[in-house]
Chain A
Amino acid sequence: MADCLLEFQDVHREFATPAGPSRPVLLGVDFAVERGASLAMVGRSGSGKSTLLHLAAGIDLPSRGEVRLAGRSLASLDDPVRSRLRRDHVGLVFQFFHLLPHLTVRDNVSLPGWIAGDPHAEVRARAEDLLAAVELGDRGDDLAGRLSGGQMQRVAICRALQRRPGLVLADEPTGNLDETVGARVMDLLVGLCADEGVGLLYVTHSREQASRADRVLRLRDGRLAAAEAPA
């Protein structure tokens, strides 16, 4: 599976609880995301979807099993290497946008480039291109705090794509948006990822949004299973 950017092999994750036995959340998850493929993940609240995404991004480590990102087993790497791997291969989109309100829209999109130390001119040009692609080309100089929810999430998508990652992980990207706005944001996310050949793994509660992925996975009782085929 050399062309798989992300692989989970028998991944377990349990959390220590203050008192009593630890709580198991993931109980042997196996799956892989091929380059350029899109995957939707559904499941009840609390079933461990965010936990799975954290593991995928190397933000969290499995209790057992192996998560491989770009061919490297995350558990064996130290934190700086994991951070670099994440910044080079993964783009993240969150339910709560997490833009920095005191920075301009363009600076928010540039942030991953800054962290990686990319050349300024390139970072800026890439930010402009992406903003134009999500129809926010004229808002680059506004403070991010001034935008509407839908606009913020479009900026967050640009941010995720800034460094041309191989994979975008999106945790309920439309969870905080109303249906029409959410649909529009989803269009942009799926569309942009497809255009740039970027793999996409997103969590959603909407059957309709899930149906836009190549595959749909359901997380239930700590395990991942293929859900109904896309319509």
Chain B
Amino acid sequence: MSGRLLGAMLAHWRQSRTLTVLTVLGVALGVGSVVCIQLINQGALAAFAGGMRAVSGEADLVVLGHGPDLDETIYREVLAHPDVRAAWPLVRAWAKVAGREDEFVDIVGVDVFAPVDYPVDVGGSDAALGGLADMLTDPGWIALTPEFAGELDLAVGDTFTVAVSDRLLTLSVGALVDFRRRAPLASRKLALMDIAQAQHLLDRGGHVDQIDVRIRRDRDLATAQRRLQDTLGPGVRVLSPEQRQESAAGLLAAFRLNLTALSLISVMVGVFLIFSAVHASLVRRRRQFGLLRSLGAERGQVLRVILLEAALLGVAGTLVGLPIGYGAAMLNVDTVSSTLTSIYLLDEIEQLRFPPLLVVVAVAVGLGGALLGALLPALDISRRDPVALLGAAGLPERIGRMAPGLALLGLGILLAVGIWYSAGGHELRTAGFVLAFFLMVSLPLMTPLVLRAVCSRIPPRGFGWRLGWRGLATRLQSTSFAVAALAVTVSMLVGITLLIGSFRATLDTWIARSLTADIYVTGASWQRDLGRTALSDTVRTRLAAHDAVEYVDLQRRREGRTDSGRPVRLIAIAREGRTDEHWSARTPLLAGDLDRLAGRLDDGAVVISEPLARGLDLAVGDSLRLATPDGPRARPIAGIAYDYASEHGVAYMAVPTLESMIGPVGVAAMALTLEPGRDPERVIDALRSELAGHALELRSNRRLRAEVVDIFDQTFAITRILQFMALVIAVCGVSLTLLIMARERATELALYRALGATRRQVFGLGLGEGTGLGALGLALGLGGGAALAAILILVINRDWFGWTIRFALPAGALLAQAVWIMGGAVLAAVYPALRASRTPASELTREDLL
């Protein structure tokens, strides 16, 4: 019976085409944002995993340093271990392809005798690595992936130039290597080279990046791992592939969680939309249901039919949402890749794969959202008795009576969550998300009361927008949902805009105080390797001796770890020729005594960045425990610096302190302060031609600042598409509501026409209603957005990132958003208003309408 019933019921959706399209679109966009974010999140991890599998697929375990590299001698220790069946070292390096903008090659230096089947192809025939004598003897021999060779227009036998730091190297394409045969998601930029050649060319004598290990077949992996770690000592890390992947996931945890939370807001807005659509469709068909019930259909049957119907809408929305999500992910994958490489030092996402599980997630979101949205109205209709359903009068608007109660409930929720938070909830790392979630729940609960209070107070003077606004209060059931959905969306828009604006203003202040030199010099590969390879001595001495330069600050740096495993960037910046002139002694401090800082740094103390201090709960006077090749080392903390350069943490120290822990470190970057009156751009031009044989990046202060801000903007670019999708859903909601209202009020509109109102006047009334919904959503959303911004900045940021962000009011951005929102609402009102204006006055005598 249900099947037949459903068929009859579905005819309704076929007739109400606009309503159906809007509903499906709402679901689709909700599903789309979830799919987009999950694709990108999983893409980021899959890229890392793909790279790992392509290079180290045969390894059971990997030996890594705490910093970027390992002393070669450890290789012998590993080989000698009784549990180890085979081990082979690797060298990794990023090199920039000369003459190409932003094109890098990811060089993997491998041992020819490593028991790994790299899919190398020399001119059409596959060859085992061991047979490639050329690899060892041809200087600069390298194997590229077929894709990358194609992009660079290179064939086997061709040569090309790359830059590692400031040095230019000539490489020759000796073979092609199809890493994607080993791991489909591997980067096309991976390239193979002999390890000894790589060490030589990359200036890595005596060091390797990792040692891949295969364990004897009869040994238990976990035990072997523990024993190997014990043998090698705390100077290295022995990790399984799963652990490496987890640690990459851990790096991205905050980034991924935030995006996921944002995408769920779209789902929430979508659920509201379903609710109004299903509610409206049920109210219109109430007689149909009354008839069914009086003919003996049971409540359960009616409920089932309605939910089935919603499920079909959900599935339709999911089908449309999947490609939307994929498209949105494609549009954003480049900016997210930039963030992954520049902030998290991970691989970029080159390909998006649709994991089958994601389809399941998408269906769950679409179907679940649709059912959730339909449940309340379905229960409501199925519980009414047939007489009430068949009655001539419309169903009473329950929401009006419930408005004060709902608002109280909303306030109560806020109060309860506030109490929970201050009574101990704040210790949870997810507390901020809990706060944000309940804020977004309570806002809709307060909407009906606010809506009624505002709209019923507007004196309807004349036939115009005021009368339209007043009318909003009388259809609370419909209008509340549109306003609530809009309010939630606007909260998200405004909250994020306030966060970004405040963050950006804070960053600007910090940059202005910390970037004070005139010219910044790095090697050409800096963008990827972040100073892993030092600048050459000639560059350094010639820059320092240049007559335009007053003095030079030299930066030495290494990616390192605390002994608890948290990544921390170790940086020493000192003036050329002076060991007591520390740049970090001039950085803006959050805590610590600036006057005594230089002395303390000379004595071996460190200055740590704010996120590190908050993340590890460290204060001035505590010590920072760092993992070094010789085991953990503790250094006293002399200051905590405002620092926005790294999410995980930075420790600034004197050069001797750095080198005492990890050995000699070359200069990776230089900051030149010019003699007064010198024009940086002119000096840069002069330096470029003087040092033409070196691959250098010379940035003026202005350009560096602009690049920092660009990276910042890129990091938030993905939020923009989420904001946009949520806004479109909310605008669909406004449109849907106005359409529903135009239908439900056909009699009222007909009356206006009968009393002599022109079509244009009725159209204006409809537009007025649209602006009313928009303005109320905007007003409520501004309040919610301010609260959300406070949660984002003071709670979520503190718990997950740990930055001090000063509130700023990005007035321009907010104004632009308000214009967008109001524009969206008015646009959403055009079609419904047009429909409303076409209501014939003769509808008045059709009794079935009221």
User: Which residues of A sit under 8 angstroms from B850, Cβ to Cβ?
Assistant: 96
Q: Tell me if B760 counts as interface (CB < 8 A to partner A).
A: yes
A106 to chain B, nearest CB (A): 11
Stretch at the interface among B357-365, B554-562, B747-755: B747-755
Contact A115–B461 (Cβ < 8 Å): no
Report the Cα distance A222→B140, complex, angstroms. Answer: 102
Query: For chain A, which range describes its interface: under 10, 10 to 19, 20 to 34, or 35 or more residues?
Result: 20 to 34
Report the Cα distance A95→B474, complex, angstroms. Answer: 23
Q: Tell me if B600 counts as interface (CB < 8 A to partner A).
A: no
User: Which residues of A sit under 8 angstroms from B464, Cβ to Cβ?
Assistant: 114
User: Which residues of A sit under 8 angstroms from B463, Cβ to Cβ?
Assistant: 111, 114-115, 117
Contact A59–B840 (Cβ < 8 Å): yes
Report the Cα distance A200→B471, complex, angstroms. Answer: 32
Contact B747–A86 (Cβ < 8 Å): no
Report the Cα distance A96→B471, complex, angstroms. Answer: 20
Report the Cα distance A59→B463, complex, angstroms. Answer: 20
Report the Cα distance A50→B752, complex, angstroms. Answer: 18
| Chain A contact residues, majority secondary structure | helix
Stretch at the interface among B284-292, B535-543, B841-849: B841-849
Q: Tell me if A101 counts as interface (CB < 8 A to partner B).
A: yes
Contact A50–B845 (Cβ < 8 Å): yes
Within 8 A of A (CB), among B802-846: 840-842, 844-845
Contact B460–A107 (Cβ < 8 Å): yes
Give which listed residue, A57, A107, A115, contacts B752 with CB less than 8 A.
A115
User: Which residues of A sit under 8 angstroms from B21, Cβ to Cβ?
Assistant: none
Q: Tell me if A14 counts as interface (CB < 8 A to partner B).
A: no
Q: Tell me if B462 counts as interface (CB < 8 A to partner A).
A: yes
User: Which residues of A sit under 8 angstroms from B470, Cβ to Cβ?
Assistant: 102-103
Q: Tell me if B758 counts as interface (CB < 8 A to partner A).
A: yes
Give which listed residue, B748, B760, B845, contacts A80 with CB less than 8 A.
B760
B785 to chain A, nearest CB (A): 31
Within 8 A of B (CB), among A78-97: 79-80, 83-84, 86-88, 90, 92, 94-96
Interface size on B, residues (CB 8 A): 31
**Per-residue interface assignment for chain A, residues 103 to 117, with 1 indicating a CB less than 8 Å from any chain B CB and 0 otherwise:** 100010001101111
Contact B467–A98 (Cβ < 8 Å): no
Contact A96–B756 (Cβ < 8 Å): no
Report the Cα distance A94→B754, complex, angstroms. Answer: 10
Report the Cα distance A54→B845, complex, angstroms. Answer: 10
Contact B844–A98 (Cβ < 8 Å): yes
A12 to chain B, nearest CB (A): 17
User: Which residues of A sit under 8 angstroms from B646, Cβ to Cβ?
Assistant: none
Q: Tell me if A171 counts as interface (CB < 8 A to partner B).
A: yes
Q: Tell me if A120 counts as interface (CB < 8 A to partner B).
A: yes
Report the Cα distance A57→B473, complex, angstroms. Answer: 31
User: Which residues of B sit under 8 angstroms from A112, Cβ to Cβ?
Assistant: 755-756
Give which listed residue, B473, B754, B758, contacts A92 with CB less than 8 A.
B754
Closest to A57 in B: B754
Within 8 A of A (CB), among B728-786: 747-748, 751-761
A208 to chain B, nearest CB (A): 24
Closest to B456 in A: A102
Closest to B464 in A: A114
Q: Known contacts A100-B748, A102-B470, A102-B473: does B844 contact A84 (CB below 8 Å)?
A: no
Contact B845–A116 (Cβ < 8 Å): no
Contact A115–B748 (Cβ < 8 Å): no
Q: List 18 A-B contacts (CB under 8 A).
A: A50-B845, A54-B842, A83-B753, A83-B756, A83-B759, A84-B756, A84-B758, A86-B754, A86-B756, A87-B755, A94-B844, A94-B845, A103-B460, A114-B463, A115-B755, A115-B756, A117-B463, A120-B461
Question: 5 other contacts beyond A120-B461, A171-B845, with CB at 8 A cut-off?
Answer: A57-B841, A59-B841, A83-B758, A103-B460, A114-B461
Chain B residues near A (Cβ < 8 Å): 456, 460-464, 467, 470-471, 473-474, 747-748, 751-761, 840-842, 844-845, 847, 850
User: Ordered nearest first, which 8 A-B pairs have the shortest CB separation?
Assistant: A87-B756, A114-B463, A59-B841, A102-B474, A83-B758, A80-B758, A115-B463, A86-B756
